[in-house]
Amino acid sequence: MGYKVIGKLSKDDYAAIMASVESMLQQESSFRLLLDLAAFEGEEAEASGSDRRFRRKHRRLITKMAVVADQRWHEWVMATVDLFYYARENRFFDIGERQAAWKWLRA
């Protein structure tokens, strides 16, 4: 499963992602996740509660998570977000490594 985040992430965006995850979990017991943050511009203040709920509810079900972003977001993510709260195994990929991220998730 993969998501490309464009612009600022809102509470409604999280709701859509959570609905998609819930739907997928009706068929699967766990999943692998790719987050493409190449066009990410941050998150709206009201979205942070949704982010915490998503982590609490799904963190044990995400077996691998790949984050694709430029160096600026890599530094922000590493400084502000504990990726281990999201998945059992995590890896950061530069924008030019999108295909490598998918390959790593499928391995």
Q: What is the pLDDT of residue 60?
A: 74
What per-residue confidence (pLDDT) applies to 30? 86
pTM more than 0.85: no
CB neighbours (10 Å) of residue 90? Answer: 17
User: What's the pLDDT at 97?
Assistant: 95
Q: For the residues 80-90, what does the mean pLDDT come to?
A: 66
Q: What is the mean pLDDT of residues 26-45?
A: 87
Reduced to 3 states, what is the DSSP secondary structure of residue 87?
A: coil
